Structure 1
């Protein structure tokens, strides 16, 4: 080999060794498509309700074999921002994940002044634990983010009656803590007899001072553990998922759904700058604390279908958010998401089948 060719080959080899490490550390490797993403088949929209935005679709199979989904919804006249100050949680049912869902009833609505969930009820996350149905959700008392708190409603059946909590399940940290602003986006698993509650939060000072950032503050995920479902939950001092130090920009995640497969804990969530703001992410862990590098879990709707032109009032049109899984025999069968648009140009569920 000629000296020049040898030098060029050596430099190229060195570059190939170094670049993936740099991209890997910065979270910028856009080729990280997961096996989960490759299995997604779009089914289409569901729960399109005239006069409402529909968001946060959390599904579960009932003993009757039907699919029960718990949704958040608010009046379309409130615009997209109605989730924070006038949302309610409802129950809908379908014979199969791909058949028509029918709204049954509203089960949690804002209770008014004096209650911790006075102004909104949002972020439903349904699961079956210890012989009861557990509906984790977020409520707030002033129509703003700083009073968002996680609560837990329980029922013996999916049709209720639901026991509503008098107090939140998880409070924010003390002033100055990374999670002193709120607790929201709940997800829970039971592992080795312990109840592991995952939640999103951020620091108030950081939020108030981040005026130059595209997305204010920096959303991170924490974990709190309890010996009993009802708590008390003891929080880890530091977040278990924090992308704030990765390269340039403001990298965050939100909307996490957590589940177990075998001896692994898995999480699917929305990307907020790690790859971009349109994708979803998926990661794995053995203990819920140390996670694998994020991979792409899903893409924007344009990747799967052709949509009509959006309207000026829909600033997130085309984005897929709030991923929740319909589990069957311990494995994900369908992915339920929320996306702006649809028949009434508000927002609705969008469902994917997970094939293979």
Structure 2
């Protein structure tokens, strides 16, 4: 067996053999305890997924999703907003500054929500990637719209809003805006994903191009009479898209990054020290990490499992999350320093959490 493995390695380019031996990042071993300064709460909103960028002012700028508590947690699909907060330290405490994105109304592709933001800084500009949706040109009555807001997974009108999810981007020369949006989404479903594009995660490639992990449904999942597929029928998949610019055009690649595992909310970054990409996602119970040397072919990382739903606090207690989603890794000077996650506790409280990494 050793001789067979050795023979196979001899057939690979030496650069790839060397890269295969660099997968030693152990995020689980880097996780530190959290305290209240690492939590961003809001009495009027559910705080959800977030991402961080260091601004031109030297401060840390958080862009995060919010859903009105008055409307309910499920309003992420119809009434979500993207807000901006600022901190002197990357792990917080963060202070809310402003709302930066929300639905623009029925005359636009991003009509009814702004959700799941990812902020990036590329070549002198800030790029705020987000998900939004519309109702495909239909006009819904007030009753139908309320069903879209609050209906279950089989509701015709919620299914309509769900299947029109797309990814967009807003661009600014300053982290404080103003933000320019575009007339069309930047990534459409194709190839190994269908129905929707959402939950973008973007990184610059060492060759100067750009890479995105994008979530969609498997192509064999179809809507019937406007109804959303059941949970068993709905298999989420993570695909890879490549572009020469941060705004596209983006081309989805034939091979999935994550295929048969029901997972979502990917994050991605390039680790220059290890000369490889890493991605992290949640798989409905834990956070898992994948890796790639070329950005197209992905596998589970050597230290695959990163985090489960129990998070230690400095006061000796634990956060016991009912849902733990939307991971994001902030990298500064080549080192992963913070893991941000969205927490929904079993009592219904939700907030953005910033976990320091040693």
TM-score, normalised by the number of residues in structure 1: 0.78
- 2:66 aligned with 1:52: no
- Greater Rg, structure 1 or structure 2? 1
Matching residue within 162, 170, 193 for 1:145: 162
- 2:353 aligned with 1:350: yes
Structure 2's unaligned 5+ residue stretches are: 1-23, 136-157
1:1-356 equivalence runs, <5 A: 35-44=26-35, 45-142=38-135, 144-173=161-190, 177-191=191-205, 192-203=207-218, 205-206=220-221, 208=223, 214=231, 216-242=233-259, 244=260, 251-262=261-272, 263-271=275-283, 277-294=284-301, 295-301=304-310, 306=317, 317-341=321-345, 345-355=348-358
Q: Give the match's secondary structure for 1:136.
A: strand
Q: Which moved more, 1:293-302 or 1:51-60?
A: 293-302
- Give me the whole-angstrom Cα distance separating, in 2, the residues matched to 1:188 and 1:78: 30
Q: Give the match's secondary structure for 1:82.
A: helix
Superposed displacement of residue 204, structure 1: 5.9
Cα deviations across residues 259-300 of structure 1 (Å, max 9, x unaligned)?
0112211101111xxxxx311011211112222325101111
Cα deviations across residues 203-256 of structure 1 (Å, max 9, x unaligned)?
3642548999655411111122222222211221342321x2xxxxxx322111
Q: Give the match's secondary structure for 1:120.
A: coil
Q: 1:308 to 1:108 in 2, by over 3 A?
A: closer
Contact 1:255 1:270 in 2 (8 A): yes
- Give me the whole-angstrom Cα distance separating, in 2, the residues matched to 1:308 and 1:236: 38
Contact 1:76 1:346 in 2 (8 A): no
Question: What is the aligned partner in structure 2 of residue 17 from structure 1?
Answer: none
- Give me the whole-angstrom Cα distance separating, in 1, the residues matched to 2:61 and 2:194: 34
Superposed displacement of residue 157, structure 1: 1.1
After superposing on structure 2, the runs of 4+ consecutive aligned residues of structure 1 that deviate more than 3 Å are 207-216, 302-309
Structure 1's unaligned 5+ residue stretches are: 1-32, 245-250, 272-276, 310-316
- Give me the whole-angstrom Cα distance separating, in 2, the residues matched to 1:120 and 1:198: 21
- Give me the whole-angstrom Cα distance separating, in 1, the residues matched to 2:257 and 2:32: 31
Contact 1:126 1:134 in 2 (8 A): yes
Q: 1:115 to 1:169 in 2, by over 3 A?
A: same
Instruction: Give the alignment's Cα RMSD to 1 decimal.
Output: 2.5
Cα deviations across residues 57-94 of structure 1 (Å, max 9, x unaligned)?
11112232211100110210222211111001110001
Question: What is the aligned partner in structure 2 of residue 24 from structure 1?
Answer: none
TM-score, normalised by the number of residues in structure 2: 0.77
Contact 2:255 2:297 in 1 (8 A): no
Contact 2:119 2:129 in 1 (8 A): yes
Superposed displacement of residue 318, structure 1: 3.3
Q: 1:226 to 1:279 in 2, by over 3 A?
A: same
